[in-house]
Amino acid sequence: MCYSVFMARPRRTDRQLVASARKVVRQTRDSLELRQALSVLLPAELNVTLEQTARVLGVGRATVPRLQFGFRQRCRCTDDGGRKGWGGRRRALMSFEEEVAFLRPWAEQAQAGGVLVLSPIRAALAQRLGRKVAASVVYRLLARHGWRKVAPDSRHPKSDPQIQEAWKKNYRKTWRPC
């Protein structure tokens, strides 16, 4: 039986990136830019590990890939697929267009002056998806489409401030001992 030692992935070196790093090392006056360029150059040209590169640069091992990534972003000499960041809804249950279609009947009801209650929307969403749905999912869905909870007004529309003041003036205050 043959046992193999754990081996890392083979290093892929982008020649254009290395050439750009050489140029930056010669010209830069910024310490961060220098570290980023060296984080690319040392492993590529001297075939050193990330730990050795970190020791030379005076940073932690986990910082070296971050520096390399920063250099790639700064020089933009490699094609990263146009990805600007992680972002996005990776665990979306429906596409945005499907959500709009799903909310359309309730939007019509709300525009007609109807009051919407969460539980029927939640039940319909659970039926559509074929699984249980937490209330927070529905609240986030509504917020994503610009819906908001309308709070009741601070005063009743039929209230009369003059009558309220007259009642306050004529109200008999009674004190009871404790």
Residue 64 in contact with residue 71, Cβ under 8 Å?
A: no
CA distance 178 to 163: 32
Neighbouring CB atoms inside 10 A of 59's CB total 15
Q: 136-150: per-residue pLDDT in tens?
A: 999 999 999 999 877
- Position 3 scores a pLDDT of 55
C-alpha 164/C-alpha 159 separation (Å) is 8
pLDDT tens digits, 102-112:
999 999 888 88
Residue type, 72: R
Residue 171's pLDDT band (cuts 50, 70, 90): confident
Res 35: pLDDT: 95
Q: What is the residue-averaged pLDDT of the chain? A: 85
Phi-psi sector, 76: left (phi>0), alpha (psi -120 to 50), beta: left
Q: Amino acid identity, residue 162?
A: Q
pLDDT digits (tens, 9 = 90+) for 77-114: 545 555 566 777 888 889 999 999 999 999 988 888 77
Query: What's the rounded mean pLDDT across residues 55-67?
Result: 94
